[in-house]
Amino acid sequence: MKTQNSEKQLSRRDFLKLSGVGAASLAALQGLGSGFKPISAAAARAALQDNAKYVYTSCVMCPAECGIKVKVENGVASAIYGNVYGPMNTNGVCGKGASGLQMVYNANRIKYPMIRVGERGESKFKRVSWDEALNYIADKLIALKKKHGAECAIMDAGDVTDRDPYWYLFRAFGSPHVTEHGAICDTPRRHGPKIMFGGKRVEPDVMRPVLVRQPDGSLKNDYSYRTKLIIYAGWNPFTATRINYESRGTVEAKLAGAKIIVIDPALSNTATKADQWIPIRPGTDPDLFAAILRYILENNDDNDPFRRYIDWSFQEYSQGWDEFLAAFRSRWYKKDPLNGLKYFSLEWAAERTGIAADKIAELAHTYGITKPAALVWGMNGIGHHYNGYVASIIGTVLNVITGNMEVPGGAIDTELVKSDKGGKAKGEDFVKREVTRKVNGQDVTGKIEELHMDYYGDWPAAWDDVVGDYPRRFLEGVTLRYGPFRGYKYPIKAFFMRTGNPVITGSNTAHWIEALTAKDGDEYRVELVVYIDTPMLETGLYADVILPEASYLERMALSDIYPSHQVIYLRDFVIDKLHESKTQYDIMIALAQKLHEKGDPDIKPEDFWEKFPTEEDFWNEALKVAPGRAHAGVPLPYPKYPVNYKLIGTPDSLESGKATIDDEKKVVQGEYVTAQWLREHNGVAIWPMSWHRFNNGGVLKTASKKVEFVWDYEVEKDGEKKRQGQYSKYNKLIEAAGETPFAIAKLGWKKYESTFYWFETVWNPYTNPDYAKYKDEYPFQVVCGRVHHAMSGTQLVDWLGRIPTEDLWAPLNDERVVDEIVIGENGPTPSGRKVQLAKGSWCIGVIQMSASDGRKLGLQTGDLVELETPLGHKTRGKVNLVETIRPGVLRVAMGAGGRFSPGLGLTYDFRDVTPNANDLTDPEGHSPIMGMPVYADIIAKVKKL
Amino acid sequence: MPQNLLNKFSSDVFAGLVAPALKPGGLEAVHPAFSIQGDELTPIPDIPEGINGEKHYIQRMMEDLQRALQKPIEQRKWGMLIDLRKCTGCNGCNIACVTENKLPPGISYRPVMTETHGTFPNVSRRFTPRPCMQCEEPPCVDVCPVNATWKRADGIVAIDYDKCIGCRYCITACPYAARSFDAGYFYGDFNGGERQPYELLPSPEYGEERVREEGSSPIGNARKCNFCIHRIERGELPACTVSCFGHATYFGDLNDPQSLVSELLSQPNVMRLKEELGTNPKVYYLV
Amino acid sequence: MKTTEKILWAIAGLGFLAGLVGLFNRITGGHLVAAYNTYVPWGLWIAVYVTLIGISVGAFLVAALGYGFGVKAVQPLGKMSLLVALAALAGGLTSVWLDLGRSERIFNLFLSTSPRSVMGLMTWFYTLYGILLLVMLYLARKQPQSFALRVLGWIGLPFAILFGGAEGSLFGVVGARALWESGLTPILFLVEGAFSGVALLLFLSVLFGEREPQPFLRNLTLALLFAVLVLEASEYFTAFYANIPAKTASLQIVLFGEYWWVFWIAHLGLGLFLPLLLLAAAPKNQTALALSGALAALMAITTKLNLVIPALTVPEFEGLRTAYVGPGLSLDYFPTATEWLVATWAVSLAGLIFLAGYRLLMGKQATA
Ligand SMILES: Nc1nc2c(c(=O)[nH]1)N[C@H]1C(S)=C(S)[C@@H](COP(=O)(O)OP(=O)(O)OC[C@H]3O[C@@H](n4cnc5c(=O)[nH]c(N)nc54)[C@H](O)[C@@H]3O)O[C@H]1N2
Ligand SMILES: Nc1nc2c(c(=O)[nH]1)N[C@H]1C(S)=C(S)[C@@H](COP(=O)(O)OP(=O)(O)OC[C@H]3O[C@@H](n4cnc5c(=O)[nH]c(N)nc54)[C@H](O)[C@@H]3O)O[C@H]1N2
Ligand code: SF4
Ligand code: SF4
Ligand code: SF4
Ligand code: SF4
Ligand code: SF4
Ligand SMILES: [Mo]
């Protein structure tokens, strides 16, 4: 109990300055603001109509990118609703989505271009004009390109997906290194679907409504839930709203009779609605999945309706099952050195996962017998572990052999069925250009893309890049080991970071800082760091140039969404650009012009301003490929068009038959979708849903057009032998070079395995014998979880700071009076105000700990502790003792603590008592196949401070 | 003026004496409600029909609502139903309400309460969004010394901001903590010192547009959820209802047996908060 | 002027001046300067208000006994007790007036009174009571032996009892707060008010050298003290016995919460047992009488604090603790510096009114 607000420290200004809002609207506002004017409801309605409008657009407060409807009053965005016409979220918005206004109008927005004046990290900047900033960047880029080649520049577009203009520009400039957040998000999680389907994201079929062709030819909305079982392993869609329809869809399916099982060490919000919560030991999901698969294989009986787990029809659209099965079985006769039990047996899995053997059997039986069902796994549960691939592959296999893929109410790989977009606007053609480099004294010619550090470096299979390993690349440079440029070395000299914050999110924080501040003599090793974003996050503190990007309500783009069938949302201009911010398109064109003026030979007017005179032209280009999926499944979306042809064009042109059929290219071409078409249709395009889209090839993207259980195999075609399968490409490179990538060499492999494989995770004393010795000294496993904030980017939003979440984000703040810092003309600047915060009035990131562990350690909720890993990495935070977590596990909120950017307002003010999970991450911890950071393999001891 | 005063006073005394039977009527005499014309209503979204002829629940509820608006106000009885089985605790409704009603820091008309029971591993957690219950027998109305809080003919408990003296008696009297005191904070106080643009806009308050600024109401007043009267009267659903991410919130006319709320209310698993107090809430929960 | 009176003037003057700082803050800062909020909507100022009203009622009872019922012993204190009643009323109303969210609308209480609201009714009671006090004071000065004064004393007594009880029912009718909702609350209010008012007069009688009424006042104080003890004990015991969760939760806070000492040391120890001891052990000792009177009157605030705040710090729903948080959404309440200052100002104002009235009414007598 403390004095609150004891003095009025908050300065009050009578003069209201509306930053960025036009003078006219300001005047209009003040006109309305003359005291209180009671008016009738009818007059209020009229007033609303006169001064307010609604704009359909799409959210970016998290990567789910829901369709939203924004109310704009007098030029000011004032409320955010869901877009009832979009089938994914339909009318709903979540707390983050509704809070977008405070992102857009935040005092801590980057308002002007700035150039660093102090050292990196000192957060000293000066305001410059756009012209100065772009000159600085263009001069540096051209000089670096001359010296090191364009491949020394990286364009990382972080977590916000509407990045095509940047990719287009950098690919045109000649760099193969354009990326986004996938590489630090979940590549191991996507791996199974990727190698088996050519897809990525398996989700339950619970998106309703879906538009379905009816027997009478009409298109109607299907609202029925057919799912009977959903198992979520380490996937928390209720809080981590990645696939937004999973929150309502899951409960609706449950009410319609489905059983929900959640496997998570903590009682996530999703687990609150589960029929069964299984608090698994972290990092053991592959073990659980493997035991389920073994149980199903051993106990399946085709003749017993109560044991008919396997639906053999999967063999019609798959290949290589026997090889997979043989490899899987061969392991279950071996004994685990750790516990002497046979691999994948129930007892073995029980020992490792901490779940009783009979419970595992029951789970396996339930999953096998209940159809339709979906097994779905997430990032922290699986994607963030060293061996997440194994779980992802087994999980995918389980969904396939139980007959659940693509059946109504089953599981859908949304990557394969979402609308295509981007097309030529991604600039992929540019990296097919040939370049010549001197390798060991010889001129070698190859494609720009063959200079890519990941395809041809340590992780040749890292098809989504290796952002988590950038620090090492910054420090050591790139040595290509495979492909035509084998032996070629180049440094990384320019790093463009747009809407991402790797210093906090992209593996170990100190390691990133080290890489960004390393010097050769007086010069920073990475000579140019540019930060492009709306708010000022930690990575910005290490930038040389900072560019203010227009917020999502001030720009145009297309959403990147994962529905069960093809849907696209437009992102549209809602309000005028605030401050001096520019859109991605503006920045692309402006920087291209500068580069062109300064003589860069690769930037051509006909590729840029002549081709895309307006922003809308650019996005219309990106829409030319939509929806771009095979016309497949039951019921067939457009019975009048041939099966498996690619559909292109607006839903209404396809529906009305205003389309041409190209039998040679197998394309049905209607009228292109355009931004204007979307605008006229409530911001949404919806094409019909169907199921069974794997049959006859359908939407599958594998070479064989089948589900592949083998990933490097030979086929004979026209008498010629051909290597196929998702790993074959990399294995050919490895074989040609005769050098095994170091990460898989550590697994004892020579190249990528051609079918089922197994390896243990790291830093887990319960499953990996190499780490068993740490069990007693480091008794806690540390995992992460999401809160009602999006990654590290929204902690400046006041509303979200007021919503306690999942025992991870709790109002345990002490009372403080802080000197306010805001992002001003010259970067972070004290405002001169003192802000007083009462105790318990603001949420901070805390360490969720089992109450029983707390009792053992003599701790109480609110006590400050330090966590330390065997590698000596430390972080600190207040413990929150609760019953909602498995003993022996500590959970911290991702992006919520230790936040040292002054641009984060109140969250910054509590950086000294909040934990940053990535202070603990092993900087060398990268998963072996794609180099993804292993955020979730952490063990620690706890010390009270 | 004294004569008026006396009239009003005596009528209230009378109303008080014959309570509860005549209570609502007595009050409406003093506070006329706004009238609605059908052609001013917001159009209902055009969404493809369902395979069994069913409608999107938002369409259905908007139709219910607009049908109710065609009736005289005293024949409508607005009610809300929140399906706790479906609420995911996302707080969409909470913040949607905050933005809709332009609420200042520290005021939420619809916080989402989290309650956790049990010990590991037998733990359960429930989310309960808590708007104003719009009690049929509202204790907040009785305690208000100046008649600033009153019950409209359609059952919505309203506050007359120009009358309210800010004594906060009603806040102590509401068993649901549904009333807040507007002490006068602005988001700018916590972020940069300057009012944020959306704080400068007038907000819809019981049919009036008011700009919230120092020295004028609603600063210093009691505030609460008003079922988004301004939206209802345009033929729209309350902001929390349209925004509900879990599709867990329903709204409509309890007097209309055809309405979706009435239909859902006929289920046996309906409950209300603190039923024992006899406040007779019009917010129901499905459990 | 006697030294004692000078000291009183000095204390009240200082309090008044210091309080002005708080008043300034309150006027310029609105309600941001106070710690009462949405979850704990009433705080120190309400506690001060009900305490002073209690004292007023207590003091008035003494006056009514003297003028109306001819209790000789207290007659010398007649005017003083009326004055105390008036000053305390003014101070209390000032405190609650500043507590209003929109103080400038105070007249709405008259223009738009709701008869169903205890607070609405109280508005008119206060007005009548204030008029009654003024008239009685006038009569006491001009026609101390008049029949009118006696009649007013007669009428006044039940009125004051009703009034003290009504004050209690302000809280007693609030069903939402288990701690308040009790038939006993009005009676408790009345008895506690009488106790503090009588005790204050006992204190003043010593200060102003009025020895005659002291034995009576002492006995009355003691009797009321016992009544308070009995009532409080029964209230607490029945509550714990009945074990209504919300009520016992509040009582737990009172008895064993962070501010346990307010109940055990300030209220029970200093406010009841020490006066009891002193009054019993040294019935004639001036210091003991003064001290016990002062303590009992001063500690009256603790009773009200323990009534107002713990009832509000128990949330209506447990889940509110982990719902939305922010300024004003706190279940912890401790008055801010400004609140203390304003409270000091209101009490000092009552003191100054009393002293000024004393000069005015009894000036000659006093200087003589
Ligand atoms: N609110 C919000 N939504 C978001 C985001 C956000 O930051 N905030 N981020 C978006 C992004 S980029 C992503 S990748 C997704 C992430 O989506 P999710 O993967 O669903 O989210 P997380 O909360 O990181 O992890 C899910 C759960 O995994 C549990 N877990 C941790 N370790 C283990 C384990 O070893 N085994 C099992 N079975 N469970 C474990 C955690 O307790 C947690 O509840 O969310 C997206 N949506
Ligand atoms: N320890 C640990 N580390 C993790 C994770 C974990 O669970 N634990 N999760 C990992 C995962 S899954 C991911 S995806 C990554 C995410 O990490 P990043 O890709 O670094 O994402 P963030 O920067 O955190 O957040 C999104 C960005 O969007 C920006 N943004 C938001 N709205 C707008 C807008 O309107 N306009 C513009 N221009 N920008 C906007 C924000 O400023 C921010 O830069 O972190 C990874 N790191
Ligand atoms: S789920 Fe994500 S995209 Fe959808 S409303 Fe919430 S924050 Fe916006
Ligand atoms: S919930 Fe509270 S504020 Fe709402 S009507 Fe009932 S008593 Fe009044
Ligand atoms: S705060 Fe306003 S509405 Fe509430 S009781 Fe007091 S005057 Fe009435
Ligand atoms: S009905 Fe309106 S005012 Fe009430 S909680 Fe919902 S959005 Fe808020
Ligand atoms: S928006 Fe709906 S699902 Fe989300 S917290 Fe509110 S009621 Fe629950
Ligand atoms: Mo992610």
Digit-coded pLDDT (tens) for C44-78: 999 999 999 999 999 999 999 888 888 888 888 88
> Which of these three, A45, A73, A104, is where a domain ends?
A104
Please give the residue range of the domain that contains residue A687.
622-671+681-697
Report which of A136, A23, A21, A113 is spatially closest to residue A533, judged by C-alpha positions: A113
Best of C25, C259, C330, C341 to disrupt the A interface (most A CBs within 10 Å) is: C330
Q: Say whether both A632 and A511 belong to one domain.
A: no
A50 band by pLDDT with thresholds 50, 70 and 90? low
Quote the ligand 4 centre to A663 CA distance (angstroms): 68
A342 within domain boundaries: yes
Of C101, C122, C320, the CB nearest to B177: C320
Q: What is the dihedral of CA B178, B181, B185, B191, to 10 degrees?
A: -20
Residue B181 sits at the chain C interface (C-beta within 8 Å): yes
Q: Say whether both A457 and A542 belong to one domain.
A: yes
Q: Does residue A207 contact residue A564 with C-beta atoms inside 8 Å?
A: yes
From residue B9, how far is each of B16, B151, B168, C114 by CA, in Å? 10, 17, 22, 8
A861 within domain boundaries: yes
Q: Is A241 in the pocket of ligand 3 (CB under 6 A)?
A: yes
Are the beta carbons of A884 and B116 separated by less than 8 Å?
A: yes
Report which of C86, C82, C33 is spatially closest to residue C61, judged by C-alpha positions: C82
* Whole-number pLDDT of residue B215: 85
A47 band by pLDDT with thresholds 50, 70 and 90? low
Quote the ligand 6 centre to A293 CA distance (angstroms): 49
3-class secondary structure, A501? coil
β pairing state of B122-129 and B112-119 = antiparallel
* Whole-number pLDDT of residue C158: 86
The predicted-structure confidence for A383-401, as pLDDT tens digits, reads as follows 999 999 999 999 999 999 9
Residue A511 pLDDT > 70: yes
Region A852-863: mean pLDDT is 97
Chains contacting B with at least 3 CB pairs below 8 Å?
A, C
Cα A933 to its chain centre, rounded Å, is 14
Are the beta carbons of C332 and A4 separated by less than 8 Å?
A: yes
Counting residues of chain C whose pLDDT is more than 70, the rounded percentage is 98
A583 within domain boundaries: yes
Chain A: closest CA distance from residue B202 (Å):
7
Lowest mean pLDDT among A703-712, B169-178, C284-293: C284-293
Residue C3 sits at the chain A interface (C-beta within 8 Å): no
A192 within domain boundaries: no
Please give the residue range of the domain that contains residue B95.
3-286
Quote the ligand 3 centre to A65 CA distance (angstroms): 6
In this structure, how many other beta carbons lie within 10 angstroms of the beta carbon of residue B197?
Answer: 26
The predicted-structure confidence for A628-676, as pLDDT tens digits, reads as follows 999 999 999 999 999 999 999 999 999 999 999 999 999 999 999 999 9
> Which of these three, A399, A417, A435, is where a domain ends?
A417
Q: Which CATH number goes with the domain that contains B157?
A: 3.30.70.20
Residue C22 sits at the chain A interface (C-beta within 8 Å): no
Chain C stretch 40-59, residues whose beta carbon is closer than 8 A to a beta carbon of chain B: 41-42
Q: Does residue A876 contact residue A864 with C-beta atoms inside 8 Å?
A: yes
In this structure, how many other beta carbons lie within 10 angstroms of the beta carbon of residue C284?
Answer: 10
Chain C: closest CA distance from residue B99 (Å):
15
Of C32, C326, C335, the CB nearest to A841: C326
Is the Cα dihedral B190, B195, B196, B202 positive or negative? positive
Region A587-608: mean pLDDT is 97
From residue B154, how far is each of B24, B74, B76 by CA, in Å? 10, 5, 5
Question: Which numbered atom of ligand 5 lies nearest the CA of B166?
Answer: 1
Residue A814 pLDDT > 90: yes
Residue A604 pLDDT > 90: yes
Chain A: closest CA distance from residue C191 (Å):
31
Residue A13 pLDDT > 80: no
- The CA distance from A195 to A686, in Å, is 28
Q: Is A210 in the pocket of ligand 2 (CB under 6 A)?
A: no
Lowest mean pLDDT among A887-891, B201-205, C237-241: C237-241
Q: Is A535 in the pocket of ligand 2 (CB under 6 A)?
A: yes
* Whole-number pLDDT of residue A182: 87
Half-sphere exposure of A23 (CA within 13 A, CB side): 0
The predicted-structure confidence for A147-190, as pLDDT tens digits, reads as follows 999 999 999 998 878 999 999 999 999 999 999 888 999 999 99
Question: Which numbered atom of ligand 5 lies nearest the CA of B171?
Answer: 4
Q: Which CATH number goes with the domain that contains A59?
A: 2.20.25.90
Of B86, B209, B248, the CB nearest to A37: B209
Question: Which numbered atom of ligand 2 lies nearest the CA of A552?
Answer: 35
Q: Say whether both A58 and A121 belong to one domain.
A: no
Best of C124, C126, C317 to disrupt the B interface (most B CBs within 10 Å) is: C317
Chain C: closest CA distance from residue B45 (Å):
32
Residue at A514: amino acid letter: E
Quote the ligand 6 centre to A247 CA distance (angstroms): 22
Residue B15 pLDDT > 50: no
Are the beta carbons of B181 and C101 separated by less than 8 Å?
A: yes
* Whole-number pLDDT of residue A8: 33
Q: Say whether both A216 and A258 belong to one domain.
A: yes
Contacts of B277 in chain C (CB under 8 A): 175-176
Structure tokens that stand for A928 in this block: 């072996």
Q: Say whether both A412 and A431 belong to one domain.
A: no
A343 within domain boundaries: yes
The predicted-structure confidence for A556-589, as pLDDT tens digits, reads as follows 999 999 999 999 999 999 999 999 999 999 999 9
Environment class of residue A776 by beta-carbon count within 10 Å: exposed (0-12), middle (13-18) or buried (19+)? Answer: exposed
Chains contacting C with at least 3 CB pairs below 8 Å?
A, B
> Nearest residue on chain C to B19, judged by CA atoms?
C116
If you average pLDDT over every residue of chain A, what do you get?
A: 93
From residue A397, how far is each of A317, A672, B277 by CA, in Å? 13, 37, 56
Domains and CATH numbers, chain C: 36-326 (1.20.1630.10)
Whole-model pTM: value is 0.92
* Whole-number pLDDT of residue A5: 38
Region A819-847: mean pLDDT is 93
Chain B: closest CA distance from residue A157 (Å):
27
ipTM of model: 0.93
B33 band by pLDDT with thresholds 50, 70 and 90? very low
Are the beta carbons of C102 and B114 separated by less than 8 Å?
A: no
β pairing state of A889-893 and A780-785 = parallel
Of A1, A3, A843, the CB nearest to C325: A843
Per-position pLDDT tens, chain C of length 368: 678 888 999 999 999 999 999 999 999 999 999 999 999 999 999 999 999 999 999 999 999 988 888 888 888 888 889 999 999 999 999 999 999 999 999 999 999 999 889 899 889 989 999 999 999 999 988 888 888 999 999 888 888 888 888 888 888 888 888 888 888 888 888 899 899 999 999 999 888 888 888 889 999 999 999 999 999 888 888 888 888 888 888 888 888 888 888 899 888 899 999 999 998 888 888 888 889 999 998 888 888 888 888 888 888 999 999 899 999 998 889 999 999 999 999 999 999 999 999 888 775 554 43
Residue A620 pLDDT > 50: yes
Question: Which numbered atom of ligand 2 lies nearest the CA of A917?
Answer: 1
Region A494-521: mean pLDDT is 96
Counting residues of chain B whose pLDDT is more than 70, the rounded percentage is 86
Q: Say whether both A69 and A210 belong to one domain.
A: no
Q: Say whether both A637 and A741 belong to one domain.
A: no
Residue A927 pLDDT > 60: yes
* Whole-number pLDDT of residue A312: 97
Q: Say whether both A344 and A430 belong to one domain.
A: no
Chain B: closest CA distance from residue A76 (Å):
6
- The CA distance from A794 to A103, in Å, is 7
Residue B229 pLDDT > 80: yes
Q: Does residue A406 contact residue A694 with C-beta atoms inside 8 Å?
A: yes
* Whole-number pLDDT of residue B246: 96
* Whole-number pLDDT of residue A10: 31
Q: What is the dihedral of CA A531, A536, A538, A541, to 10 degrees?
A: 60
Of B165, B182, B214, the CB nearest to C105: B165
Q: Which residue has the higher pLDDT, B157 or A39?
A: B157
Contacts of A839 in chain C (CB under 8 A): 330, 332
Region A286-310: mean pLDDT is 97
3-class secondary structure, A37? strand
Phi, psi angle pair for A637, to nearest 5°: -55, -50
Are the beta carbons of B245 and A47 separated by less than 8 Å?
A: no
Residue in the block written with tokens 């007069």: C201
- The CA distance from A269 to B112, in Å, is 13
* Whole-number pLDDT of residue B123: 97
Q: Say whether both A839 and A800 belong to one domain.
A: yes
Residue A9 pLDDT > 70: no
Are the beta carbons of C338 and A6 separated by less than 8 Å?
A: yes
- How many domains does chain A fold into? 6
Spatial neighbors of A875 by CB under 8 A, at least 6 apart, are: A866, A867, A892, A897, A898, A915, A916, A917, A919, A920
Test site for ligand 2: of A160, A235, A556, A918, most ligand atoms within 8 A of the Cβ: A160
Q: Which CATH number goes with the domain that contains A149?
A: 3.40.50.740
Question: Which numbered atom of ligand 3 lies nearest the CA of A89?
Answer: 4
Q: Say whether both A168 and A267 belong to one domain.
A: no
Contacts of C325 in chain A (CB under 8 A): 802-804, 811, 840-843
| DSSP 8-state secondary structure symbol assigned to residue C299 | T
Cβ < 6 A, ligand 1 pocket: A 62-63, 96, 185-186, 233-236, 239-242, 263-266, 268, 280, 282-283, 285, 378-381, 783-786, 788-791, 891, 894, 936
* Whole-number pLDDT of residue C365: 54
The predicted-structure confidence for C248-292, as pLDDT tens digits, reads as follows 888 888 888 888 888 998 888 999 999 999 988 888 888 888 899
Residue in the block written with tokens 């009235």: C357
- How many domains does chain B fold into? 1
Of C25, C327, C337, the CB nearest to A841: C327
Residue B184 pLDDT > 70: yes
> Nearest residue on chain A to C22, judged by CA atoms?
A7
